[in-house]
Amino acid sequence: MSEPLLSIRGVSKYFGGVHALEDVSMDLKAGEVVALAGDNGAGKSTLIKAVSGVYKADRGEIRLDGTPISFESPQQARDRGIETIYQDLALADNLSIGANIFLGREPKRRAFGFLPVLDRALMADAAQETMRRLDFHVDRLEAPVSAFSGGQRQAVAIGRAIYWNAKVLIMDEPTAALGVPEQRKVLALVMALKEQGKGVIFISHNLGDIFAVADRIVVLRRGIKAGERVPAETTSDEIVRLMVGG
């Protein structure tokens, strides 16, 4: 067995007297999709926020490539290759795919040999190349992302993460606000990320989606890990039992 990409060991998080997470451990290997399942308030969000630098764990240890990590901000987590794709995607709808990928770190070139200008050609090329890696063929590279559908916008948000060499992608309910055909496309994107050796933490309420893409399923209930299963060796009934208890 290879060294896990991300290793979460005994992580606890308290808000006042309430324990949001209690002694949760899980591993994520490169090229692996781990689904986080659980009812509302089970601690899924707290766990991913502890990994992505939004919260600091009160106890426990998180290791990335074997090195213990402790982030002060989501920006630090991102710099180390942990990207979170929230449900709202946080895209600038009025800008192109390339401009979204490079938002905040736009490349420059010199026009007429002296005037620094945005390098739109480089951004467009990178956008095309990145989208191709996601099997997403786009010809209108200058179009604002508002012109694209929900699944395609999801691809743009993922593309932004992988362009900057994210190793771990955390996807929070990526299929939630989408129609069925679009949901399938997003699941295909998750499989593409897996093939490229990324580690994916996939949060979903939809057991169908979870069974379609996950290599392992971690179930949380009231802040504790209720169980961990391999899809081939379990059923949705068992997962639901773990989620609700009893």
Partner 1 sequence: MTALSSEAAPPPGRTFLSKVADLRAWLFLVILVIFFETWAQTVYGVTFVGNTYNLQSIGIFATAPLLLALGQTFVIISAGIDLSVGFTMGLAAVVSAHMANLGASHLGLPPFLSMLLGIVSGVAVAFVPGLVNGWLIARLRVPPFIGTLGMYGIARGAAYLIAGGMTVPVSNAWFAWIGNGRIAGVPILVIIAAVVVLIMHYMLSQTRFGQHTYAFGASRVAAVRSGINVGKLTMRIYLLAAVCAGLAGALYSGRFAAGAAQAGEPLLLSSIAAVVIGGASLFGGSGNIAGTVAGALVIAVIEYGLVFINVEPFWQFIAVGVVIIISVLVDQSQRKLLGGRVDE
Position among 45, 130, 152, 175 found at the interface with partner 1 (CB under 8 A): 152
- Which residues, numbered 55-84, are part of the site for partner 1 (CB under 8 A)? 74-75, 78
* Least spacing, CB of residue 20 vs partner 1, in Å: 23
Per residue in 38-67, is it b (16+ CB within 10 Å) or e — as a string?
Answer: bbeebbbbbbbbbbbbebebeebebbbeee
Position among 63, 184, 205, 222 found at the interface with partner 1 (CB under 8 A): 184
Position among 68, 92, 121, 129 found at the interface with partner 1 (CB under 8 A): 92
**In this chain, which stretch among 32-40, 61-69, 151-159, 221-229 interacts with partner 1, using CB under 8 A?**
151-159
Give the whole-angstrom CA distance, residue 166 versus residue 162. 5
β-pairing verdict for 108-111 and 115-118: antiparallel
First to last CA, the chain: 33
**In this chain, which stretch among 25-33, 53-61, 87-95, 197-205 interacts with partner 1, using CB under 8 A?**
87-95
Contact between 138 and partner 1 by CB under 8 A: the answer reads: yes
Contact between 129 and partner 1 by CB under 8 A: the answer reads: no
DSSP one-letter string for 45-109: HHHHHHHTTSS--SEEEEEETTEE---SSHHHHHHTTEEEE-TTTT--TTSBHHHHHTTTS--EE
Nearer to partner 1, 60 or 150 (CB): 150
Contact between 33 and partner 1 by CB under 8 A: the answer reads: no
Q: Assign 3-class secondary structure to 153-175.
A: HHHHHHHHHHHCCCCEEEEECCC
**In this chain, which stretch among 9-17, 30-38, 103-111, 168-176 interacts with partner 1, using CB under 8 A?**
103-111
**Residue 80 carries which side chain, given as an amino acid letter?**
R
CB 42 within 8 A of CB 95: no
**In this chain, which stretch among 2-10, 25-33, 39-47, 188-196 interacts with partner 1, using CB under 8 A?**
188-196
Q: Which stretches of the chain bind partner 1, using CB under 8 A?
A: 74-75, 78, 88, 90-95, 99-100, 103-106, 111, 115-118, 134-140, 143-144, 146-149, 151-152, 155, 184-185, 188, 191-192
